[in-house]
Amino acid sequence: AGKKTITAVMHSDLRVIDPGFTTAYITRDHGYMVYDTLLATDSNFKIQPQMADWKVSDDKLTYTFTLRDGLKWHDGQPVTAEDCVASLKRWGRNDTMGQKLMDFTASIEPIDAKSFALKLKEPYGLVLESIGKPSSYTPFMMPKRLAETPAGQQIKEQVGSGPFKFVQAEFQPGVKAVYEKNPDYVPRKEPPSWTAGGKVVKVDRVEWITMPDAQTAVNALQSGDIDFMENLPFDLLPVLEANKDIKIDVLNKFGFQTLGRMNFLYPPFDNVKVRRAAFLAMKQKDVLDALVGNAKYQKVCGAIFVCDTPLETDVGAETLVKGNGMAEAKKLLAESGYDGTPIVIMAPGDVVTLKAQPIVAAQLLREAGFKVDVQATDWQTVVTRRASQKPPKEGGWNMFFTNWVAADVSNPVANASVGGRGKNGGWFGWAEDAKIEELRDKFARSASADEQKKIAAEIQKQAYEQVIYIPLGQYLIPSGWRKSLTGVVDGPATPVFWNIDKSE
């Protein structure tokens, strides 16, 4: 009785609850409830202390981290430096940025119960950015015994030091996940800013409810059955905007980048001319109109590393942005020797934010003179099939589409899809480009922001020339909540449930 409970419908259902096991954003959101991070990024892209503060040695080779007081695991044990070292190592195995960091790292050792040192082999510009990275795999801290769970297995318990405790008994995958306020949590004193600052919990309980049908969830939000809905369907916004009990706002101001990726192993997209023709045929505006259809929430953006970030540039993106490349596309395709083999595009029917891209792209490609075979499947099949290196006729593919959280692709190291490692550890589609790999490496080592910016622009130029992938625009997803909620925090990894209060 009298318990304040927030009922929220998240963007998808929570099934995997080990944040070191999957990059799924819902699991990351779960991570922020239960776990805490050493460092965090604030709204100025600055890294701030969260669980720990740090010092950098003058030679830039030793980083010393000191845990703040009052940190306790949910099982009552104090948080130790040993725990954090183990957690960082686990993350370093899983995350791309983590792996990069580990490549530069000579050792991570506890100094005493409260502090530990990270020693580099040579200076590396992204140490703090990596450890304070807001999105998945986010380096969450957990007790050593959990962090040492063998690779390929999920952790057995949900014991973190975060502001909420996970109620295991009420967890029903596909139905709901329940969190209770962690009474022992000592927040920082600073005001909250993105994932940094004080995580003050003002409610007793948070329930995440799964609703597979967006229409149902919108109905529930309108009727007050739920307090918060993370992803509002764009087309229902007019209905919700008319409702004075509901507030609509975008929490993740960078939103998402949607992109198309080709398979470099097989014709016709093994031919750069054909890829260019496809690139030139694309119009971001068409894709966004079909996907979002609301000028307020969509942004044509030629920057591979996302607009409104330090690395933004529009080099090489003119046709994407202006949509004026069709004539040239036709010409190029005619010259390329394309033999009319149909392009197999995988189209998942069960993911709302991925339905429009294949359809629009198919139409544009057809216009340019391609033959297109849109194959409808479910997302699971796409996920599996895109990993297949077989020819399109034997269960392989030519093109698929996906979305990134913009923050996750906002620099060349984090952005896996821009890589050029080919079949040797490259991202699905297996683009091979030595030059890009060289530039990415250079970027990682460079310490100055200006230089980084220059390298990023070069990468983008090269990526567009080779058509490593095609960004198809950025979009924001509005969230909605009942006005009884106050203090909803924005950021690159939202929603978070600290700082929110609920009036009766």
Partner 1 sequence: MAIETLPEPSIPVTTPFRPRLGFLTATPIIAVATICLGLIIAMAIAAPLLAPHDPQLLAPAQRLKPSSVQFLLGTDAYGRDLLSRIIYGGRISLLIGLGAAIFSISIGLVIGLVSGFFKWVDAVMMRVMDGLMAIPSILLAIAVVSLSGASLMTVMVAITIPEIPRVARLVRSVVLSAREEPYVEAAISVGTSLPKIMWRHLMPNTVAPLIVQGTYVAASAILTEAILSFLGAGISPETPTWGNIMAEGRAYFQVKPSLIFWPGLLLSIAILSVNLIGDAARDALDPRMKQREAGK
Partner 2 sequence: MLGYLLRRILAAIPVMGVVALFVFLLLRLTPGDPAAILAGDNATPEQLERIRTTLGLNEPLYTQFFTWIGKLLQGDLGTSLISNVPVLTMISRRIEPSISIALSTIVLAILVAVPLGVIAAWKHGTWIDRFVMGLSVVGFSVPVFVIGYLLIQIFAIDLRWVPVQGFRSITAGFGPFFERIILPTCTLSFIYVALIARMTRAAMLDVLGEDYVRTARAKGISETGVLLHHALRNAAVPVITVIGTGFALLISGVVVTESVFNLPGIGRLTVDAVLARDYPVIQAMILLTSLIYVTVNLLIDLAYTLLDPRIRY
CB under 5 to 8 A by kind: which of partner 1, partner 2, none does 200 bind? none
Q: How far apart are CA 487 and CA 501, in angstroms?
A: 6
The verdict on 214 binding partner 1 (CB under 8 A) reads: yes
Rule CB under 8 A: choose which of 334, 387, 434, 449 binds partner 2.
387
The verdict on 149 binding partner 2 (CB under 8 A) reads: no
Q: How far apart are CA 272 and CA 468, in angstroms?
A: 10
Of the candidates 451, 450, 410, 417, the residue with the CA atom closest to the CA atom of residue 436: 417
The verdict on 241 binding partner 2 (CB under 8 A) reads: no
| Positions 315 through 374 that interact with partner 2 (CB under 8 A) | 350
CB under 5 to 8 A by kind: which of partner 1, partner 2, none does 225 bind? partner 2
Q: What is the number of residues in the chain?
A: 504
CB under 5 to 8 A by kind: which of partner 2, partner 1, none does 248 bind? none
The verdict on 9 binding partner 1 (CB under 8 A) reads: no
Rule CB under 8 A: choose which of 123, 191, 293, 487 binds partner 1.
293
Q: How far apart are CA 6 and CA 205, in angstroms?
A: 6
117/416 with CB nearer partner 2: 416
Beta-sheet strand order (sheet of 228-229): 164-166, 176-181, 205-209, 5-9, 228-229, 478-482, 246-250
The verdict on 12 binding partner 2 (CB under 8 A) reads: no
The verdict on 16 binding partner 1 (CB under 8 A) reads: no
Rule CB under 8 A: choose which of 41, 182, 398, 402 binds partner 2.
402
* Helix H or strand E segment including 256: strand 256-262
Give yes or no for a contact between 154 and 28, defined as CB atoms under 8 angstroms apart: no
102/383 with CB nearer partner 2: 383
How many residues sit in the footprint of partner 1 (CB under 8 A)?
34
Alpha carbons within 13 angstroms on the beta-carbon side of residue 398 total 26
Give yes or no for a contact between 141 and 51, defined as CB atoms under 8 angstroms apart: yes
Give SS3 for 380.
helix
- Residue 109 Cα distances to 50, 54, 89, 126, 158, angstroms: 20, 14, 10, 19, 25
The verdict on 272 binding partner 1 (CB under 8 A) reads: no
Question: Which residues of this protein are in contact with partner 2, per CB under 8 A?
Answer: 13, 15-17, 21-24, 27, 94, 96, 136-137, 151-154, 171-176, 209-213, 215-217, 219-220, 222-223, 225, 350, 378-381, 383-385, 387, 395, 402, 408, 416, 425
Question: Which residues of this protein are in contact with partner 1, per CB under 8 A?
Answer: 214-215, 218, 233, 235-236, 238-239, 285-290, 293, 347-352, 355-356, 359-360, 362-363, 374-378, 380-381
